[in-house]
């Protein structure tokens, strides 16, 4: 249901992506000028409607080509350490971050326009979702046609399977992930679910794990090209056909990066203690039907009963309150231990580290494993950001744990497992064309 309440809520600053909103504003101008909504009532002939559609398509394409060139200029600026001046794009969109590849936005728009008929619409202007999908297509074009995809990482809930569910054997995502492995693309599932045992991850991912184990089209090396990074960046499991639950827990000393190895247990405990108190205060002040859950590297609140749905506003209020308290605390100001406070849809958790660290571990692990057979090796090069694609559903600036993955690799923002399937189909098509 669409309502004024939902529209106004979606416009809150913490729920907006400034880059997408900026592009949306640019595309609104040709929509107003060329949409011809009166044609519905005046009965315009087909030729005029075709001309209108073609003109809108041309103007949308031109605008996205101009944005594409601005991104190219931004990349030049970000790669020039001697240049103290910001790019034009940085001045127009101050929150813009680094780009690991150029984005062929014009070509991506033309592909999405053939699917979504954006230029044909007369009452609905190019939307947030239209632009999000155009950016996704441009990014996978960049890492395939114009680059080489070596690592694909995925969020779990809402990306590979519905929230709170599991990756079942009949999931359409599975054969597409198998296809990536067959093409020698490494896969990391980087999830906020923080389990210390392989059994718990097997229960969530059994459909994929069993399929890989029983596959006759994958080599033994390709089968080992799957890892699970749990708790954002706290527990690593490697696929192993000989393990009881098809996953081998990897000891921390084998995968911690040098930076992560400096995070002391004292600092971790201190930060989680502050977060725990803040979460308890939120339970009281917001009268939340929730209980506290403390883990060794995370703390959060979960509903008292699995059937209870805590209001989204309460979850986001909790995230923002806890995040600000942590940032202003002694433990947070020291910046010795990074953290991520996020809204999981049904709960709120504060994890040690975030997905930028989780994706980084995947980049380092696979490069080292390919060279040394196992573990990390400081003397080796690692998979680069331009060869990495992280797919997730949470990229808003607050309460979204996929957001920080943007700092270490390219990303694709999806909204459901069905969109993940569509994205993987696009990716496979582009990779197949490149191989021909």
Catalytic residues: 155, 157
Q: How many angstroms separate the Cα of 406 from the Cα of each of 101, 280, 393, 395, 401? A: 12, 31, 13, 9, 11
Calculate the dihedral angle through the C-alpha atoms of 202, 208, 213, 219, rounding to the nearest 10 degrees.
Answer: -130
**How far, in whole angstroms, is CA 284 from its chain's centroid?**
32
Which neighbouring-strand residues pair with 411? 390
Strands 235-239 and 226-230: antiparallel
Question: Residue 320: which of 358, 279, 262 has the closest Cα?
Answer: 279
DSSP 307: T
DSSP structural state of residue 196: S
Among candidates 319, 328, 285, which has minimal Cα distance to 301? 319
Q: What are phi and psi of 302, to 5 degrees?
A: -130, 155
Token pair recorded at residue 184: 């020698």
CA dihedral 79, 81, 86, 87 (to 10 degrees): -20
- Among 158, 66, 167, which residue's Cα sits nearest to residue 420? 158
Cβ neighbours for 293, distance < 8 A, ≥ 6 positions apart: 299, 300, 301, 302
């Amino acid at each position: 249901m669409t309502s004024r309440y939902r529209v106004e809520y979606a416009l809150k600053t913490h729920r907006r992506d400034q880059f997408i909103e900026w592009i949306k504003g640019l595309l609104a101008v040709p929509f107003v000028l060329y949409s011809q909504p009166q044609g519905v009532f005046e009965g315009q002939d087909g030729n005029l409607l075709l001309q209108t559609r073609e003109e809108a398509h041309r103007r949308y394409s031109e605008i996205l080509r101009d944005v594409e060139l601005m991104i190219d200029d931004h990349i030049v600026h970000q790669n020039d350490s001697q240049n103290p001046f910001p790019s034009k794009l940085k001045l127009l969109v101050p929150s813009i971050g680094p780009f690991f590849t150029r984005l062929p936005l014009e070509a991506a728009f033309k592909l999405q326009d053939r699917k979504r008929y954006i230029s044909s619409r007369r009452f609905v202007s190019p939307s947030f979702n239209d632009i999000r999908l155009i950016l996704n297509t441009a990014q996978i074009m960049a890492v395939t046609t114009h680059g080489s995809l070596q690592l694909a990482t995925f969020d779990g809930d809402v990306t590979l399977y519905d929230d709170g569910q599991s990756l079942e054997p009949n999931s359409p995502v599975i054969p597409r992930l198998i296809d990536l492995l067959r093409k020698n693309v490494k896969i990391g599932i980087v999830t906020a679910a923080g389990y210390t045992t392989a059994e718990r991850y097997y229960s969530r991912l059994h459909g994929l794990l069993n399929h890989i184990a029983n596959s006759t089209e994958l080599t033994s090396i390709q089968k080992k090209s799957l890892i699970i990074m749990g708790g954002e960046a706290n527990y690593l499991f490697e696929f192993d056909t000989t393990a009881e639950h098809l996953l081998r827990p990897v000891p921390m000393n084998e995968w911690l990066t040098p930076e992560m190895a400096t995070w002391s247990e004292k600092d971790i405990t201190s930060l989680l203690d502050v977060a725990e108190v803040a979460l308890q205060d939120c339970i009281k002040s917001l009268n939340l039907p929730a209980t506290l859950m403390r883990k060794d590297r995370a703390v959060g609140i979960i509903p008292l009963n699995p059937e209870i749905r805590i209001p989204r506003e309460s979850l986001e209020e909790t995230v923002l309150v806890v995040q600000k308290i942590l940032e202003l605390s002694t433990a947070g100001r020291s910046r010795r231990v990074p953290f991520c406070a996020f809204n999981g849809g049904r709960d709120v958790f504060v994890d040690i580290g975030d997905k930028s660290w989780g994706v980084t571990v995947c980049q380092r692990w696979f490069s080292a494993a390919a060279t040394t057979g196992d573990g990390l090796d400081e003397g080796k090069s690692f998979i680069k950001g331009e060869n990495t694609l992280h797919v997730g559903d949470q990229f808003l600036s607050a309460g979204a744990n996929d957001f920080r993955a943007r700092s270490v690799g390219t990303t694709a923002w999806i909204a459901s497992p069905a969109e993940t399937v569509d994205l993987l189909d696009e990716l496979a098509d582009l990779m197949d064309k490149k191989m021909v």
